[in-house]
Amino acid sequence: MRTGRRLLSSASRPLRPFLVERYPGWTAPRVLSLSSSECEPLQMRELLELADDDARERWESLSLGYVEHNQGSQFLRDEIACQYDRVGPDQVNIVAPQEGIYLAMRALLSPGDHVVVTSPCYQSLFEVALHIGCEVSHWEPRGFGDGGPWFDPADLEALLRPGTRLVVANLPHNPTGALPSEAEAAAIVGACERAGAHFFVDEMYRGLEHDGRAPLAAACDASPRGVTLGGVSKAHGLPGLRIGWLASQDAGFNATVARLKDYTTICPAAPSEVLATIALRSQPTIVGANRVRLARGRDALRAVVARQAEHLEWDEPGGGSGGAGGGPFAFVRLADGGSAAGYCDDLLERTGLMLLPSTLFGFGDERVRVTFGHDAKLERLALWEADLQRFGTSRPLWHDQKQNTDQ
């Protein structure tokens, strides 16, 4: 375990290429993704069929001018605020999901600030802080090889210091699926408050908890300094809408985000606002179906890993006191050894199946992120298993056969 690993920066620096987003597998021909992180996308007709009378009227009479407020239209912010206990519509800023990360970091951080972030993680959750000139400490999970990954609040306490400005988490955690218990979450919030740090949580997978587990309290409800990044991309299967939001009780933070957004998107897209409203009003139907889909896909992946135990190891979340995890992903170890990055290249070339190697998350070279939020993943898991039975995960067998064929 490498808890406390640090990346140091004393001044603003260029943003580095985004490794996951620039991975060539996304755009290679005939790709069959086993790593897409959203749930099954809805078609337009399916979403519109769920519209109530008010939303249908908004859709049919929609003006394609600017929306009524740069912060987002009142009707959408009303729907979002209904999900929280301590945040009202005026404390919500509608953003594109990735934009929300950038704006929050810009609003909260200055050069020299100290930031703690759960790792491995989506690169922008720490990269923007480094770009600003902050010092970043990585809070890494325990439990790999011993009951499944979990984030120990005591490890966070050890990383905090008087100059810690921000703690960043992604819960449920991408790519491991780890999720704290309620007691652990309360301890995390308490540690942030004692340190005087803001607590920013990427909650894009909230609602996709496993085994019927209820969501944790949102960061914006749990603390006056809490910031929630939410959206409809993942749990609702609507990444094409590009609708997310930042919610917080912190008035100064909210005002700064609104000012900064004048330099990015300015305001949301009008059609996306109405479609997102339909999705939020239909949340029990949409997210409920995706939780069933995830359970089915997780069972299928679990069976593949069990049958291919000589090649694969999966530490499912639950090793701490947190119990079941969440989200549509698994961080699977290649038991054959060798390079995960090399294996992913070979698998894509052989089969068209795409997995993301752990190198893209800055977390060694022995794991791959597998996801199970799409119906098509069941068939693709079968294709992957057939390839595992033939080649395993090490490179020599495949390259020997390929070399003989080329000759």
pLDDT at 315: 93
| SS3 track for 346-372 | HHHHHHCEECEEHHHHCCCCCEEEEEC
Residue 130 contacts residue 117 (beta carbons within 8 Å): no
Residue ranges in the chain modelled with pLDDT below 70: 1-11, 319-322, 395-407
pLDDT at 337: 85
pLDDT at 321: 53
Residue ranges per structural domain of the chain: 12-42+285-400, 44-284
pLDDT at 403: 55
pLDDT at 350: 94
Please state the φ and ψ torsions of residue 204, each to the nearest 5 degrees.
Answer: -65, -20
pLDDT at 399: 58
pLDDT at 13: 83
pLDDT at 405: 54
Strand, coil or helix: 132: helix
Q: Do domains 12-42+285-400 and 44-284 have the same CATH topology?
A: no
pLDDT at 391: 94
Please state the φ and ψ torsions of residue 143, each to the nearest 5 degrees.
Answer: 100, -5
For domain 12-42+285-400, give the CATH number: 3.90.1150.10
pLDDT digits (tens, 9 = 90+) for 17-74: 999 999 999 988 889 999 999 999 999 999 999 999 999 999 999 999 999 999 999 9
Tell me the residue type at 108. Answer: L
Instruction: Mention the CATH class of domain 44-284.
Output: alpha beta
Contacts of 142 (CB under 8 A, 6+ apart): 1, 3, 149, 150, 151, 152, 155, 319, 320
pLDDT at 29: 86
pTM: 0.94
pLDDT at 2: 43
Residue 146 contacts residue 318 (beta carbons within 8 Å): no
Question: Residue with structure tokens 């067998």?
Answer: 397
Q: Distances in Å between the alpha carbon of 341 and those of 191, 245, 256, 346?
A: 37, 34, 40, 9
